[in-house]
Amino acid sequence: MSRQRIQLASDHPGEGSRAALVMCASIPWGFHRNRQQELAERLSAFLSVLYVEPPQRGADSRGVWSVNDRCYVLPSLPALPGDRVSGRINRSVQHRVATSIRAALAARGQECAVLWIDRIHSVALVEAFPGAQVVYDCVDEEWSFGRLCRRSHLQRLETMLVDRADLVLASSRGLQRRLSAGGRRVDFVPNGCDFAHFSRAAGPRPLDLPPADRPLLGFVGSVTRRALDLSLLARVFSLLPECRFAFVGSADAASAEVIARAANATLLGPKPYAGLPDYVTQFDVCLIPYLVGGRIDYVYPKKFHEYLAAGKPVVATDMPELRAFAGVIEIGRTPEEFVGKIEECLRAQADPARAIRLREERQTVARENTWEKRVEQILALWDSELPSRAAAFAPQRRATVHA
């Protein structure tokens, strides 16, 4: 899909307006602000986008609703027990999803030109739209979730999706290396940030933040034992009794327990995306205390560039995806080193001239890593890698997907 090869609606209001990108996402639109939402809204400047929420147990039958005049959402359809582990049940669910997608597109006189998938279960939709170009946007290792008995099935789904995709994107170098191991070309498109949103002037201090009588260290995101190094955090809490820690996001029981045991740490729960900058602005240092050397080494944290857009100092564990940014963040490999890096950041913040210089350096990096930059990269890849628009709409024979 490109400005020349698939006639984008912004340039060709006639026939080009029939082309739609169908984005089969792994997260409902309202769950939290994710990569696919950021890209969907920005890509809708070039062609219509139908964001398809994943099937969910107990989903109601809400109608399609609009985000803007060229981005609309198909709400979750009801899932069936076993659809995550049974290919037969999943195909049945995806058949109903395909029917709903066709109806939503037909209501607007559109056709699926690009089938964008980041949820591997949606590979069963490929055969339902044989004329569409397929983009696999790999942002996670879905097969690593849950029980071991499910993994071979999920890995098989991902392999089929990689084989059938016309374009494969990876949100981290780690994912890119894994997916390209068999010789397949995989393009690295990392997460970005909404610079204007996170660099805005500070609003009123949120009332649920701890008192401002001590340095405040903060984290925004999912507070889970799968992601966070809880033993490191417990040690950091005890080594910095003079600091306060605030965690903004939904938490699992194990993480909530570790935070509750610390007298200087507070779990604030999830907050609306619109209000997140008001919290980040109040943090003296932003934290990314992720586990390293395990199953999430491939993660490129979306929060990283958001922290930088706010101009905040960042201390992170030694995540492979963040090492290239060592000039604008601090990396702590042990609890003691992590604490030392926090203390260095606090000292730098106490020097006004140095604090201003460092803030500008961080925001310069963030400006080069916005979602707008990511969309430019994706459009360039479509120009160079996907076939012509005529081929995109021509009937094509694809192997039947038996996922």
Phi-psi region of 74 (alpha: psi -120 to 50; beta: other; left: phi over 0): beta
| DSSP one-letter string for 207-220 | TTSPPTTS-EEEEE
In whole numbers, what is the pLDDT of the chain averaged over residues? 88
Which residues, other chains included, contact 239 with Cβ-Cβ below 8 Å and sequence gap of 6+? Answer: 335, 336, 339
Question: HSE-up of 120 (CA within 13 Å, CB side)?
Answer: 25
Which residues, other chains included, contact 253 with Cβ-Cβ below 8 Å and sequence gap of 6+? Answer: none
128 neighbors 142 (Cβ within 8 angstroms): no
Give the class (CATH, top level) of 15-192+370-393. Answer: alpha beta
| Residue of 303, 330, 138, 298 lying closest to 223 (CA atoms) | 303
User: What are the E-state strand segments in 207-302?
Assistant: 216-220, 244-248, 265-269, 285-288
CA–CA–CA angle 375, 381, 386 (5° rounding) = 125
Length of the chain: 403
User: What pLDDT shows up at residue 81?
Assistant: 64
Distance CA 295, CA 209 (A): 32
User: What pLDDT shows up at residue 156?
Assistant: 87
User: What pLDDT shows up at residue 94?
Assistant: 87
38 neighbors 194 (Cβ within 8 angstroms): yes
3-class SS letters over 47-69: CEEEEECCCECCCCCCCCEEEEC
CATH code linked to domain 195-367: 3.40.50.2000
Interhelix angle for 371-385 vs 35-43, to 10°?
70
Low-confidence ranges of the chain (pLDDT < 70): 1-16, 61, 79-87, 142-151, 386-403
Residue with tokens 């699992």: 252
Residue-wise pLDDT for 30-85, tens only, equals: 878 899 999 999 999 999 999 999 988 777 767 899 999 999 999 988 866 666 66
Phi, psi of 301 (to 5 degrees): -65, 125
Residue-wise pLDDT for 364-400, tens only, equals: 999 999 999 999 999 999 877 765 433 433 333 333 4
Residues of the chain within CATH 3.40.50.2000 domain(s) are 15-192+370-393, 195-367
Distance CA 401, CA 163 (A): 11
Distance CA 216, CA 230 (A): 19
Please count the other Cβ atoms lying within 10 Å of the Cβ belonging to residue 352: 8
Residue-wise pLDDT for 253-270, tens only, equals: 999 999 999 999 999 999
Find residue 167's DSSP bridge partners. 135
Q: What's the pTM?
A: 0.89
Sheet of 65-68: strands edge to edge?
A: 65-68, 71-74, 48-52, 19-24, 111-117, 133-138, 167-170, 187-188
Alpha-carbon dihedral 178, 180, 181, 182, rounded to 10 degrees: 130
Q: Please, is 379 exposed, middle or buried when counting C-beta atoms within 10 Å of its C-beta (0-12, 13-18, 19+)?
A: middle
User: What pLDDT shows up at residue 78?
Assistant: 80
